[in-house]
Amino acid sequence: MKQFYETPTIETAVRLLRPNASFSISDQYGFEYWEDPTGEEPPEFDEIQAKLKAIFKIWEWNTYQRERTDGYGCICDQLDMLYKDIKSGNLENGEWVNHIDSVKKEFPKPTGTKPPSVM
């Protein structure tokens, strides 16, 4: 799930809790449809809520990755910068290196303990 680049939803939590299930969720957060070939029952609301809370911790931790992805821009533009730096022999302090450094500085990796995986 690429460490949740999209905002996590109840469906995200259910898919992690019951990876083999096919389901649809009603407007009231009940299940309109549920089928699990392993025979598992749908997760309870508290179980879904706990999983969603854990997913959001990881999603928040990885905010810097999503912001960096936007900040880095198109890979085509990056390759063009890198090509020009190679041609000019300026790999240590070229446009591409400075661009990447500025994005990393603007969106630093969080400090502290990374939340545990929910997979």
Structural domain harbouring 79: 64-109
In a domain, 11, yes or no: yes
**Per residue in 48-85, pLDDT tens?**
999 999 999 999 999 999 999 999 999 999 999 999 99
Examine the domain organization and report whether 73 and 27 are in the same domain.
Answer: no
User: How many distinct structural domains can be found in the chain?
Assistant: 2
User: Is 117 inside a domain boundary?
Assistant: no
Across the chain, mean pLDDT equals 92
pLDDT of residue 1: 45
**119 found inside a domain:** no
* pTM, rounded to two decimals: 0.75
Which of 3-7, 56-60, 88-92, 104-108 shows the lowest mean pLDDT across its residues? 3-7
Write down the pLDDT at residue 4. 59
Q: Is residue 116 part of a domain?
A: no
Assign 2 a pLDDT band (cuts: 50, 70, 90). Answer: low
pLDDT value, residue 6 = 82
What are the contacts of 1-9 at 24+ separation with CB within 8 A?
1/119, 3/58, 3/59, 3/62, 3/65, 4/55, 4/58, 4/59, 4/62, 5/62, 5/65, 5/66, 5/69, 7/59, 8/52, 8/55, 8/56, 8/59
